[in-house]
Structure 1
């Protein structure tokens, strides 16, 4: 694949292993780096405690009891004259060892059980869930008390008791992940290939759920320290001979009035250990999830950050609400350079203008919309170009700044209206949220505005329907509610991603008429993504034709639809049903859109184009005078259109 954006990425980036990518993301976060340094310090202190401790932690010297910090005893001494620093170091060894054993045992039991019950379902699942429901209804400490009463005190017994508590949690977490994964196509493909059930469970599904499980385990390490020290503090955990932070706190409590500083070292050690494990778990979660803002994605995409284009050198265009300039988007690929799915996409929306974006499925229309909104699915990255809302470059904004604009200045209508609404909140609650967030209205004022807006978009009995849940709305009414939600913040730009999908013809017409009226009333710019050229002909001022991640033709609707210059546009028009022409079978555009990793080096439509010539595959084809075709000036496609 040949493209400027991909060439900007170092070759080594394409060969990066998943582990190195995760490590790279973690080391860019100072809090995560600090947390892992803290974990490393704890581990080193635990391992080398016998070397670092200046005294035997159980050596008592009554003559030097309750001494303050000194050169001989940096943290002072306790009620028996034992060196507090030495006991803190050995307590670190106890905390790290017991928490690690607890979590390891929990994972060894909870993860396989969760995979099994989630994958097989049925009565295995019901039985396991009822058992975990019963066990989780008991508070963790109370459950641990009961287990220690049965098993007895000691490091191993306490670790086992805590492991049982955590195993129950991991069963539920892993089961939920397995339920999702078993429905995906890769599991069906493994079955068709004849793979055994153990192979599917542990070689196919387990790697896909490992990230969240590892993160949960990392956070559990901190929780284990809290539970074990709490048990020992209450006299129920480790035996008296084992040095432990909880036991040190219990001893300090008894002498609080005599020597209050005695509780400080073990207390700070517990706080430090719990915090570093929790922050390390959070950082690992973010790295595994590929969490990033658009600005971070742009900075990480190549060997250098994507520059924010300056507005000083371009002509002022006050009539332009949204301008996308040279947008390229890529996804990392294992063992090769990133796969580019959008290449040099440029478009603009003038104030009060509706622009249609058309093309087959897989052309990149929805991905363009998601990139504009800053909602690219991870690990997608903007590798080039700019997205300007007025004079603001959205690619240079943080997630917090984007949140201030989304809903208020730019909004989006998704394809599936029901799925875009939360099933557990009423329609009124959801629609009023943008008003309360962006306009600062209280609940009563926001609800009043929402009732008026729902009336405006044609929802009958709006004052009553705001108390309904999304499942109580029909498809057409849900789409109207979704439109109302998109408009509630008063945006100047609206991205409508196939807003009439799955609606009958009558409702489609009503929704399109509504969008047109609202556009006129509020002077909005609308980017209408659709497959239907008839919708574009009736509703839009200009049209953009997209194929394989590129704009291949653009221009006024009448010009493009009546006098197409690109063979792909011509093919789409030929495939449209026409009332004035009777044919036995509609023409089709032969073939299908190739996947992004298999795009031709030259014109991406060339393998399907009946007019392709040798020079069409010679190299990338630029967009010139509104068309991306080297033969545009030679072909006469008007008569056939």
Structure 2
């Protein structure tokens, strides 16, 4: 296609991009866009206000009785009538809101504070912790909650607090199960692994990275359990096991109404309507929270201000700059093996006797089909072999320091500071609920102890270096506001922010289209020249290896079967498996010299 035709096609696209941008509404905007949720929220907020200021807004003292005014209907003095003792029903319903919300607080808040942290811990830790705790949870859940509450009241006595604490224990188990399920879903994701590589503590990973992604389900669960707590409080008070006799509770009002239902129907309608509307409102809030958290709604919004100029494409970089391993290697592996226990009780090796080294400023490619052991070798270097796997032998030396056998606390200081990592799917490697800038500077603040302002300034410089336009303002964006290519550039910048000696790029172009792949590869070559960093490039794409790497190691079934410079490997592959890979590649893309860049 000619340049004129290309410009003709690109002009309308650039104009459209300049005129509009896709913006996802804030959570509150998505929540308030649902009419039923707005009504439910209004009712709950009204109850909160009435409960707090009941002594000021209620027409009468809820316990003030008058025999002369008993069982009256609607009147100017008593808008909703009176009960069998002449007490004002509207005032008692208002004070009953305070009892209901107190019950919600006593049942839900302790349950959340206990269940959520335990759920986070057992799911993240796994093993015996998870199995033992979950068996105990299943035993508790097998006991009906009301029966458990009755037992608790029988031991500790009647009263709202005792009853709600018993309910709270059951709610805590619900929170535990829910949080555990969310963590098990989030734990394998790349952004958690990226946080571990940065050397963050377990508590920080759990509460700073994983917990925010569980806020949605927890909020929905909280709204539902709030409605359940109100129902249980009303039920216990109706049975005389909740609040003390005479206290203005909706359940107690229903108990009083059952004896005089025929004389005064409003006696049951007032508390019944209050319970129904409140429980329904909490359930509708739960649905609203769920839809707002899961909504993918976007609104076209005209972009304010001028549009930054596009970055001009850089000229093609040279394919390779051949070098050989030296004695002062940045990384050196010697006979590294990784093994996992088998069902028979013995250990099965998945990586066997891997040896290679990477010189300063060198890009070393590790290639092979899926399952050949490339990523497991990377995990061994990072000290992140999944349990119950282990490094069975060999040495891994980074800049003269032995990594095998290093305690986790010391490895956490190395990850992120001396070894950076970039993963294949940037949208999965970046936490969706944190700003890009915050994720970039966490490792810098932790490892170097500089201020947030200084860290953001360095992050902006790196984003600009990797080709992200308007870098300082983009730090405040969330990952979904980045394209795939820009998100991968941000991942590269985050991996380099502490100026590591080694960058591990684990198939960083797999999830990107061909054009963006080329840009990322050029970026790595440019950064190698600018920063002098060493790169371990994991891939199964020989075409990428031909463009990028100085030396190459070929893996098959957990073994390094061939190693050499890129030129040697493509000119004269010695191992039959390497020749098969070359042949398969040529069938798809043609000879190496004619591959598309």
TM-score by length of 1: 0.47
Aligned to 1:169, which of 160, 168, 174? 174
Q: 2:143 aligns with which of 138, 145, 150?
A: 138
The aligned residue for residue 182 of structure 1 is 187
Q: Provide the rounded CA distance (Å) in 2 between the counterparts of 1:69 and 1:578.
A: 89
Looking at structure 1, the residues matched to 74 and 284 of structure 2 have their Cα atoms a distance apart, in angstroms, of 31
Superposition deviation, residue 301 in structure 1:
3.1
| Preserved CA contact (<8 Å) 2:186 2:210 | yes
1:94 aligns with 2:237: no
How many angstroms does 1:189 deviate by? 1.8
> How many Å separate the matches in 2 of 1:69 and 1:162?
37
SS of aligned partner of 1:302: strand
Q: Distance in 2 between matches of 1:580 and 1:275?
A: 62
Specify the SS of the correspondent of 2:482: strand
CA distance in 2, matches of 1:336, 1:234: 54
Give the 3-state SS of the residue equivalent to 2:26 in structure 1.
helix
In structure 2, do the counterparts of structure 1 residues 271 and 63 end up closer, same or farther at CA, with 3 Å as the change threshold?
Answer: same
- Of residues 350, 357, 362 in structure 1, which corresponds to 2:512? 362
User: Which residue matches 2:396?
Assistant: none
Cα deviation 1:105-141 (Å, max 9, x = unaligned): 1100010111111111111111111111111112222
Partner of 1:73: 78
The equivalent position to 2:19 in structure 1, one of 5, 8, 28, is 8
- Look up the match of 2:586: 577
Coordinate RMSD, CA, aligned? 3.3
Residues 201 and 340 (structure 1), Cα distance of their counterparts in 2 relative to 1, 3 Å cut: closer
Pair 1:301 & 2:294 matched: no
| Offset from partner CA, 1:222-261 (integer Å, 9 cap, x none) | 1111111111112222221431000000110122233222
Deviation at 1:152, TM superposition (A): 1.9
2:29 to 15, 24, 30: 24
Matches within 5 A, 1:312-331: none
Partner residue of 1:121? 126
- 1:198 matched to 2:206? The reply is no
Measured against aligned partners, the alpha-carbon deviations of 1:563-615 in whole angstroms (never above 9, x if no partner) come to xxxxxxxxxxx99624998x5x565444xxxxxxxxxxxxxxxxxxxxxxxxx
On the 8 A contact 1:144/1:165 being kept in 2, the answer is no
Distance in 2 separating the partners of 1:223 and 1:23: 25
Q: Distance in 2 between matches of 1:579 and 1:277?
A: 58
2 CA distance for matches of 1:364 and 1:32? 44
Q: Deviations over 1:346-374 (max 9, x none)?
A: xxxxxxxxxxxxx9852299xxxxxxxxx
The answer to whether the Cα contact below 8 Å between 1:233 and 1:247 also exists between their aligned partners in 2 is: yes
Q: How big is each residue's C-alpha offset from its partner over 1:44-81, in whole Å with a ceiling of 9 and x where there is no partner?
A: 11112111111110111122111111111111111111
Shift of 1:40: 1.1
1:160-187 Cα deviation digits (max 9, x unpaired): 1221111110010001111122211222
Tell me the distance in 1 between the aligned counterparts of 2:584 and 2:15.
33
**Map 1:416-495 → 2, pairs under 5 A:** none
Following superposition of structure 1 onto structure 2, how do residues 191-270 of structure 1 map, counting pairs within 5 Å? 191-270=196-275
Instruction: Tell me how far apart the structure 2 counterparts of residues 578 and 100 of structure 1 sit (CA, whole Å).
Output: 67
| 1:88 to partner: Cα distance | 0.3
Q: Does 1:339 align with 2:482?
A: yes
Question: Who is 1:614 aligned against?
Answer: none
Pair 1:36-2:41 in alignment: yes
Moved more, 92-101 or 75-84: 92-101
Give the secondary-structure state (helix, strand or coil) at the position aligned to 1:149. Answer: helix
Q: Is the 8 A contact 1:577 1:586 kept in 2?
A: no
Contact map agreement 1:6 1:340 (CA 8 A) in 2: no
Distance 1:192 1:264, change over 3 A: same
Structure-2 change in CA distance of 1:302 and 1:72 (3 Å) = same
* Kept in 2: contact 1:229–1:246 (CA 8 A): yes
From the superposition, tell whether residues 139 and 301 of structure 1 become closer, same or farther in structure 2 (CA, over 3 Å). farther
Number of the residue aligned with 1:106: 111
Indicate whether 1:156 and 2:161 are aligned. Answer: yes
Alpha carbons of structure 1 residues 28 and 70: separation in structure 2 relative to 1, 3 Å: same
Partner residue of 2:367?
A: none
Number of equivalences? 328
Task: Please say if residues 114 and 172 of structure 2, whose CA atoms lie closer than 8 Å, have aligned partners that are also in contact.
Answer: yes
CA displacement at 1:302 relative to structure 2 = 2.6
Does the CA contact (< 8 Å) of 2:484 and 2:512 recur in 1?
no
Of stretches 333-342 and 107-116 in structure 1, the one that deviates more from structure 2 is 333-342
Provide TM-score, normalisation by structure 2.
0.51
Match of 1:279 in 2: 284
Kept in 2: contact 1:211–1:288 (CA 8 A)? yes
Displacement of 1:42 after TM fit? Answer: 1.0
User: How has the CA–CA distance of structure 1 residues 70 and 26 changed in structure 2, closer, same or farther, with 3 Å as cutoff?
Assistant: same
Q: Greater relative contact order: 1 or 2 (C-alpha under 8 angstroms, separation 6 or more)?
A: 2
Shift of 1:90: 0.1
1:154, 1:237 within 8 Å by CA — same for their partners in 2?
A: yes
Check the 8 A contact 1:153/1:236 in 2, yes or no.
Answer: yes
- Decide whether aligned partners of structure 1 residues 303 and 257 sit closer, same or farther in structure 2, where only a CA change above 3 A counts: same
Do the aligned residues in 2 keep the contact of 1:575 with 1:586 (CA within 8 Å)?
no
Supply the distance in 2 between the matched residues of 1:101 and 1:52 (Cα, whole angstroms): 24
Contact 2:589-2:595 at 8 Å conserved across structures? no
Counterparts of 2:224 and 2:20 in 1: how far apart (Å)? 35
Query: Unpaired segments of 5 or more residues in structure 1?
Result: 305-330, 343-358, 366-573, 591-641
Tell me if the contact between 1:575 and 1:587 (Cα under 8 Å) persists in the aligned partners.
no
The structural deviation recorded for 1:341 is 6.2
Q: 2:65 aligns with which of 52, 60, 70?
A: 60
Asked whether the 8 Å contact 1:107–1:167 carries over to 2, the reply is yes
CA distance in 1, matches of 2:263, 2:514: 72
Q: Which residue of 2 aligns with 1:494?
A: none
SS of equivalent residue, structure 1 residue 238: coil
Q: For 1:481-630, what aligned pairs fall within 5 Å after superposition? A: 577-578=586-587, 585=592, 587-590=594-597
The superposition leaves residues 359-402 of structure 1 with CA deviations (integer Å, 9 ceiling, x where unpaired) of 9852299xxxxxxxxxxxxxxxxxxxxxxxxxxxxxxxxxxxxx
Shift of 1:4: 4.2
